Structure 1
Amino acid sequence: MVNGGSNMFTDVSVSGDGDVLVVRIDGADGRLVDHTAAVAAACDRAEDLDGKAIVVVQAAGAPAGARAGGLTVKLVSKWEQALRRLERLPAATIAVATGDCGGAALDALLVTDLRIAGESARLVLSTEGDLMWPGMSLYRLSRQLPAGVVRRAALFGGALTANEARDLHLVHEVSGDPSAALAAAVRRVAAGSGTELAVRRQLTSEAQSVGYEDALGVHLAACDRALRRAAAEATPA
């Protein structure tokens, strides 16, 4: 077992399916140093496992008031770098949101591939003063939500119920039993390659901003990679 700050990261071995790496992010806890260390530890371990890991983010809690207390730009920058690393990780990432989920917990949820919410979960859009906290969650929400929804959130904050978040595709499943839903999701993604998943993730992300001619070469290279992999798997040892 490997632990980050305040036992926020746990390496849980799963026989035959690689490793499930659990990161616990409490949005009510403003200690970004601990959150950053936990995410970094999970990323280190996932990279060591070369695509055979699944990272689970357990996201819960939201700031009780303004988010800026005790923060510095340096701390926020390191946290954003850790999230970007998680977002591009050569491993499948799954988030499970329970209760109110805001602050660092919402930050982490928004960078994952597959998101599960408990029936009572709410995604809380943290504010600073009268406006939404201007971190990279605002950027990611702008890429994942309709412009009108983001504009209202940026100006006034607020919260989305689990069903509202599902309807907006911010979460992919709402469950009365998040633990069972997580177990099913882990089984579903365990057979895949995290390295190949990272390639597909990058292709779909870049497709939103790159023209066809610029994208063609990258997609052809990915097709060549897939063909070589299939040929290698079909060749007897």
Structure 2
Amino acid sequence: MVSPGPATLRIDGARPLTPDVVAEVNAACDAAVQHGMLVVHVTGAPGDGWLSGVTVASVSKWERALRALERLPLPTLAIARGDCGGLALDAFLAADHRVAIGRPRLVLPVSAGATWPGMALYRLAQHGGGAAAVRRAALFGTPIGLEDALAAHLIDAVAADEEEAVAVAGRYGAGIAGPELAIRRQLLLEAPTVGFEEALGVHLSACERALRRTTAEGSTS
């Protein structure tokens, strides 16, 4: 049974990457299955020394947790306030629908003279790689302001408050859930890099499943 109201997760980009943060994301993903939707509130950006104690193994665990969020069989909404960098930017870009409250900035953190090469770079390129603002952020750490983020489709909408943001996202995701939602995401993610012939078989399989479901629904109505 789906519980009323979405599951929620709050990510502060100023926090260090610790096992606790990874556990919070994994727990939110588990809870979201009982709620039918996950809302991720993000804000904050890393300060000096944010990589202290971080290892490749801890980054790998964080990225796997984000991948679980990205593959949830239900709609995900991220709501951004203020500067969003580090963990906050990662989680924001992994959501289906991304909403701004106020005038947030998307910030790739810089360390040792270069931007952090985590999967935020990958998601920035997927969502808005052709935009000059994204290129400047990826190469030089220049923050992406609201107008540029909207133009690059990194932010989908601007809301007055959290209630409005959740209501808008709820309308987008109404009646859409289950494993097929995760498959549609994957088809979108793979489209820029997969050739037509390779993609055709996967799409035909998805079409066959959709036809079977449509026939089954028709026979029970």
Identify the residue that residue 91 of structure 2 maps to in structure 1.
108
Task: Say if 2:217 is the partner of 1:217.
Answer: no
Distance 2:162 2:201 in 1: 41
Higher strand residue share: 1
Identify the residue that residue 161 of structure 2 maps to in structure 1.
177
Distance 1:126 1:57 in 2: 20
Identify the residue that residue 227 of structure 1 maps to in structure 2.
211
Which range moves more in the overlay, 137-146 or 223-232? 137-146
Task: Say if 2:35 is the partner of 1:13.
Answer: no
Q: Equivalent residue of 1:100, what SS? A: strand
Question: Does the 8 A contact of 1:66 with 1:127 survive in 2?
Answer: no
Distance 1:175 1:79 in 2: 29
Identify the residue that residue 22 of structure 1 maps to in structure 2.
8
Which range moves more in the overlay, 109-118 or 28-37? 28-37
The partner residue of 1:94 within 74, 77, 89 is: 77
The partner residue of 1:45 within 31, 40, 47 is: 31
Which range moves more in the overlay, 186-195 or 57-66? 186-195
Identify the residue that residue 6 of structure 1 maps to in structure 2.
none
Identify the residue that residue 118 of structure 1 maps to in structure 2.
101
Task: Say if 2:74 is the partner of 1:75.
Answer: no
Q: 1:55: Cα distance to partner?
A: 1.2
Identify the residue that residue 206 of structure 1 maps to in structure 2.
190
Which stretches in structure 1 are left out of the alignment for 5+ residues? Answer: 1-11
Distance 1:28 1:39 in 2: 16
Identity of paired residues, percent?
51
Question: Does the 8 A contact of 1:138 with 1:154 survive in 2?
Answer: yes
Which stretches in structure 2 are left out of the alignment for 5+ residues? Answer: none
What is the root-mean-square deviation in Å for CA atoms of aligned residues? 2.0
TM-score where L is the length of structure 2 = 0.90
TM-score where L is the length of structure 1 = 0.84
Q: Equivalent residue of 2:184, what SS? A: helix
Between the two proteins, the alignment pairs up a number of residues equal to 219
Q: 1:205: Cα distance to partner?
A: 1.5
Deviations 1:9-39 (A, max 9, x none): xxx931xxxx511111010111432221111
